């Protein structure tokens, strides 16, 4: 199984001095926490995607975490998340038939979430992603702010990563060149069923300063 960890974003909403993956949470970078978490799963190959000017630094940070027998490669990402995922996919060897794409910013994700995604794929799903029930009522609005729909809350899930797919299918989905905020949307657009498995509160994405503070609290609780 191959994993692509995308860590090439700039972290505009976090507003730190360094790109988000290089910001520390309780003394360890988001990048290193994410990679260490991923490596608790049954990984054969890992590709880490970072800003071009930080490939050397990221290699130095990730290399000491590499277990015997696991291939780890660090490559440069692109302007959009989709570009970074595509760069990561291209760096996987031909031996990889199942791939998980994971946001470095979700660096507290427990290994059980990786295992649930992998179990769904092993059971035959073309794609599987973690999700949690939403607590708010969600409205669909038009450009003028007028509500056009109120989806039943019980049918909604807030989705996380790792998102797992048949590697060839995800590569084909990316070949469309479409933009999307997650990989599942690209695979759904090809008409394939993607399954949502149970996510975890620790799968939160560190996006804002508040999220960073929350992640620090969660770590001190464990």
The residues that touch ligand CTP, with contacts defined as CB under 6 A, are: 6-13, 20-21, 49, 77-81, 84, 103-105, 205, 207
Backbone angles phi, psi at 74, to 5 degrees: -115, 125
Q: ∠ CA 29-129-186 to the nearest 5 degrees?
A: 100
DSSP 59: H
Partners of 194 in beta bridges: 127
Rounded Cα gap, residues 41 and 109, in angstroms: 11
Shortest Cβ 143–Mg ion spacing (Å): 22
Contacted by 84, from Mg ion, ligand CTP, none: CB < 5 to 8 Å by type: ligand CTP
Q: Is the peptide bond before 162 cis (omega within 30 degrees of 0)?
A: yes
Shortest Cβ 11–ligand CTP spacing (Å): 4
CB nearer to Mg ion: pick between 9 and 77: 9
Site mask for Mg ion (CB under 5 A), range 3-22, x = bound: ------x-------------
Rounded Cα gap, residues 28 and 34, in angstroms: 10
Contacted by 105, from ligand CTP, Mg ion, none: CB < 5 to 8 Å by type: ligand CTP
Least Cα distance to 56 among 84, 6, 20, 22 occurs for 22
Contacted by 7, from Mg ion, ligand CTP, none: CB < 5 to 8 Å by type: ligand CTP
CB nearer to ligand CTP: pick between 79 and 143: 79
Partners of 5 in beta bridges: 48, 102
Q: Which residue is nearest to ligand CTP (CB)?
A: 9
Sign for the pseudo-dihedral over CA of 74, 79, 81, 82:
negative
> In this structure, are residues 21 and 119 in contact, taking their beta carbons and an 8 Å threshold?
no
Shortest Cβ 50–ligand CTP spacing (Å): 8
Shortest Cβ 176–ligand CTP spacing (Å): 18
Size of the site for Mg ion (CB under 5 A): 1
CB nearer to Mg ion: pick between 6 and 187: 6
Residues engaged in binding Mg ion (CB under 5 A): 9
């Amino acid at each position: 199984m191959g994993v692509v960890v995308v860590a090439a974003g700039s972290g505009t909403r976090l507003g730190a001095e360094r790109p988000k993956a290089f910001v520390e949470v309780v003394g360890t970078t988001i990048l290193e926490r994410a990679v260490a978490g991923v490596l608790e799963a049954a990984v054969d190959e890992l590709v880490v995607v970072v800003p071009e000017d930080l490939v050397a630094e990221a290699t130095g940070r990730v290399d000491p975490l590499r277990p015997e027998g696991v291939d780890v490669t660090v490559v440069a990402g692109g302007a959009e998340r989709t570009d970074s995922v595509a760069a990561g996919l291209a760096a996987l060897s031909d031996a990889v038939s199942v791939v998980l794409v994971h946001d470095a910013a979700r660096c507290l994700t427990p290994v059980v979430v990786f295992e649930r995604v992998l179990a769904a794929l092993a059971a035959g799903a073309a794609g599987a992603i973690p999700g949690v029930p939403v607590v708010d009522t969600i409205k669909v609005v038009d450009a003028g702010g007028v509500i056009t729909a109120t989806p039943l809350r019980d049918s909604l899930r807030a989705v996380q990563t790792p998102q797992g797919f048949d590697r060839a299918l995800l590569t084909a989905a990316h070949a469309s060149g479409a933009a999307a905020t997650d990989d599942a949307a690209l695979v759904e657009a090809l008409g394939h069923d993607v399954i949502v498995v149970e996510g975890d509160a620790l799968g939160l994405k560190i996006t804002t300063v508040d999220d960073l503070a929350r992640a620090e609290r969660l770590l001190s609780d464990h």
